[in-house]
Chain A
């Protein structure tokens, strides 16, 4: 549609295509248009002058965001090799006016608009206006599954990879000097016209939007023609070219634009990086190889040789032995590969294959270096000082206003009641800021008790925090988004399991549901790879606390619970092995872990109950994650611990005790275990450790002895049987154990033993009253039952069952304490 005659010259391009960029420059030189129109938000007309500024270094991006809601933002990234950038710079150098002609950001960012809402959580990952819809034109590899017209074109040319075809057909072509610079654009426009006919206008998910945008572009072109005459150039995605050339009435176009939702939008320049241009960083419409494209754009000649030399120098700097001979061989191999694959010129795939085979000895490790530093590249853009304030700062100011939390330099304490919405929001804000490194508030110990619904903060706003906010703005445009991104990044970067657990707790406090999945994933990964059971056991209690705490704050912690359950499983598998061969100190520490894990599992087990319940077949019930599954397996582990010879006595004793407390030791089994542990074959020191583990350093062990005469008699028998030489060895241990008991308990024990205690072997039954106590009077005992029922909320106060105390007994010791 564009002869060299009067324009408008429609220059269809691929975004970030170096070949397109070169072609655009040549075409502009040839046509010398009176004005240049570029696909982009018209709001940016006001800041376009900055592009010529000395301090402006691409890659940069136009960032538009809704004034009231900085989370609604869109980026239009521009690299040095972007055709749009080339056109803008050319126009500014020549003093030719530049206009943006795409749909205003005010519309694209409007809530009723198409994709504004999916922006908030991930500002970098989405690009509604700039690139998303243009997949048809220039970014065929776009992650969004859609109709890909380019793929059809590539298939017609015999390519199975559309990207590859575009490279060969457009980007790698170096136009012969003296040719008509407009010819390639005409050919491309023709192809696109065919495609649009074949696929139909406005197909695909973005189709309707495309039509609206194109209507707007046509109107703007019309305006420009009136102002500058026909000799204007339009730089836009190739897909749009046929639509812009089509004749439509003004009225029809205006009709298409009617009633679009609108918000107040602000726009500015932000620095960008090659890394964020690349698809790896989640920028949906990005390109794979900004560094390679930059190289193609800048290399004056022999791009392949220059690239290989660059790669060789990079590898040499990292101490890989790469000689010029390698470069020669790599260039040859890349050339031959291209010939074998029937490509006109070695592309990135051939170059990468050659670098891998020749320079990297087939290894992907040095190759990753080349990929990272060269193919993507470390280029960081710069924006002049005059750039406007960051959206993050604006979002923060807005939150400060709405939460009535003024930044004051003077330090003051604030107390929040988390049951109130405003206070909860304030707490969240402060937690999020702390995650971002903006330490405005510092949590201090609450004076009003330890309730989980109360938080006390010391607030103090230092001037340098503004700088921190500016730094943090790289993470996102809102406090929420930035904190989420930062938390995710920190999770990935943290080395120790405990760090991640702490981070998970922090995420719950700051309420970052977006970051939680990533943190959980890292947590699960770290847990899976951490071979040290002690680490796992250390991490578990904090995690279980998070589960409980999340509950308090009415948050969905199912994922957390799952991870915790997984962690517990891993602990179970490794625990017995980890307990073997420990010295006294390590055994002592491990005994602490046994307790901690036991508590955690008890807390956790009800959590895991509902989700795994339905799948069990009766016979496999013990093996599966049935309600009691986790606890069941833990008690299995405890059973192993209690019964295995060679483990430290303290651990075995503790395990036996925990089983006994849970009522999982069958009648007499506790006594048998104790008998085994205390029999003469056992080293006295180990036996004493067992007793310490079993009876605990707390007070409850004493009560146990008072109430179970058989155990007492076992201890008694063992103690009197210890040879005098060994007795001095075990005395400190025993003293440590028994001195922790309440004086009353100690006295009772002493009396029992002096009375001849349980009278030798005349054991009546476990749980029998000590001999010194008067026998139980059932009548008097029954009198407390109604009150007990009332306390426990049992429904049947008038139940005729006289044996009711039976089921209640297990709970009474706990209740008594």
Chain B
């Protein structure tokens, strides 16, 4: 690769709206690799223990602080990392907004140092995206040959012993999904046109993500399902965790969008998180009253966008302080997905839970205003 191009790339990287995990956290990965004296599976950049530490955070013996990438149960990360070390592929499952993609990206970055071997699953993902394509000019000129072959990300990962990623596996049509079966069970990718095959070298594995809540998904065939160990990423366990996640992400997003800084929105964030959790879990935070759950998922990611939206509102149109009125409309939009049923759920929640809660008067009024 010519030097100028590489230079241009690295510049583009720092300007990038969202740099890759292995670049954003290069320092941490380096420190971990230096401190890591445990056995590493072949072609792994780090030992499984270090990968788990990279995701969950911690402090190294030399004092380097590893920031937590994933706030959640340790168990989940440990099972995920261990699975990658065996020859089974890893399927990350969860409702939208539970950091599936985030975890998969960081796992790939920590294990292989490269999170870009990615197939994005859509309803239109063709088989070529998973296997290989052809350089048609060369194919027509010289006939089928290895030179005319354009390897897909999975094929590259197999050849180099890296971690490949498939996003939104269940959005891919079922027949295309099943292309993965040979890859995962035989660990080879045949190229019938050339009478050859690509064999996976040690270190190859695959991380797929899928969500189990969306409509219009193609369920995995049981043949494919058997090739995966499944890890379900849970919603944040405690309100504190969730407030933590939300405020951290809101902070990051706010900075990257250059939103004017708004002081001390923690109370409002806590309120948004509480509302989301209560509606999602179907029970109030004190565990004493049940409430109905609306049809939306109300994930942490949605809480983050509600707060971000509220911040923008407060900064540009409000008095610069995040208030109940700034988030009320956002919450209403997130909760009421089905105009008839969800509105009833929301009103019932407002009347039976919010109205009587101490110190929530302003919030109640703001919500009443936008709901009316």
Contact = CB atoms under 8 A, between A and B. Distances in A.
Nearest to B291: A528
Interface in B345-372: 347-348, 351-352, 355-356, 358, 361, 364-365, 368
A92 to B, nearest CB: 43
Contacts of A725: none
A792 B115 CA distance: 85
B225 interface: yes
A358 B348 contact: no
Contact of B355 (A356, A570, A623): A623
A569 B290 contact: no
The residue in B231, B282, B289 that gathers the most chain A C-beta atoms within 10 A of its C-beta is B289
A625 interface: yes
B348 A573 contact: yes
Contact of A570 (B79, B288, B352): B352
Contact of B75 (A349, A360, A364, A623): A349
A340 B81 contact: yes
21 contacts: A321-B222, A329-B88, A333-B83, A340-B82, A353-B75, A356-B79, A357-B79, A357-B230, A358-B229, A358-B230, A362-B231, A524-B289, A525-B290, A528-B292, A529-B290, A566-B289, A570-B351, A573-B348, A573-B351, A577-B344, A615-B358
A682 to B, nearest CB: 27
B290 A357 contact: no
A529 B347 contact: no
A528 B356 CA distance: 16
A341 B136 CA distance: 51
B48 interface: yes
B93 A362 contact: yes
Interface of B: 48-49, 52, 75, 78-79, 81-83, 85-86, 88, 91, 93, 222, 225-226, 229-232, 282, 288-292, 344, 347-348, 351-352, 355-356, 358, 361, 364-365, 368
Interface of A: 321, 323, 325-326, 329, 332-333, 336-337, 340-341, 349, 353-354, 356-358, 360-364, 521, 524-525, 528-529, 531, 566, 569-570, 572-574, 577, 612, 615, 617, 620, 623-625
B226 A325 contact: yes
A525 B348 CA distance: 14
Given A364-B232, A529-B282, A569-B351, 8 more contacts: A333-B229, A353-B78, A357-B83, A529-B292, A569-B352, A570-B352, A573-B344, A617-B361
B2 to A, nearest CB: 43
Contact of A329 (B48, B52, B93, B229): B229
B316 to A, nearest CB: 29
Given A362-B91, A362-B93, A333 B290 contact: no
B360 to A, nearest CB: 11
A574 B348 contact: yes
Contacts of A353: 75, 78-79
The residue in B82, B222, B290, B351 that gathers the most chain A C-beta atoms within 10 A of its C-beta is B82
B351 A572 contact: yes
B173 to A, nearest CB: 21
A667 B288 CA distance: 44
Nearest to A353: B79
B135 to A, nearest CB: 39
A340 to B, nearest CB: 5
A340 B52 contact: yes
Nearest to B80: A357
A624 B358 CA distance: 11
Nearest to A633: B351
A258 B222 CA distance: 71
Contacts of B344: 573-574, 577
A340 B78 contact: yes
A541 B48 CA distance: 62
Contact of A362 (B222, B232, B348): B232
B352 A566 contact: yes
Contacts of A573: 344, 347-348, 351-352
A336 B352 contact: no
Nearest to A525: B290
B290 A528 contact: yes
Which 9 residue pairs spanning A and B have beta carbons closest together?
A362-B230, A528-B290, A362-B232, A525-B290, A357-B229, A336-B82, A361-B230, A573-B348, A569-B352
Nearest to A321: B222
Contacts of A360: 230
Nearest to A570: B348
B231 A357 contact: yes
A332 to B, nearest CB: 6
A784 to B, nearest CB: 46
A333 B79 contact: yes
B225 A361 contact: yes
Contacts of A358: 88, 229-230
Contacts of B231: 357, 362
A802 to B, nearest CB: 44
Nearest to A352: B75
B105 to A, nearest CB: 19
Contacts of A620: 361, 365
A333 B232 contact: no
Nearest to B76: A353
Contacts of B79: 333, 337, 353-354, 356-357
Contacts of B348: 569-570, 573-574
Contacts of A354: 79
Contacts of A357: 79, 83, 229-231
B352 to A, nearest CB: 5
Contacts of A624: 355-356
Nearest to A337: B82
A26 B277 CA distance: 53
Contacts of A612: 356
Nearest to A530: B292
B39 to A, nearest CB: 10
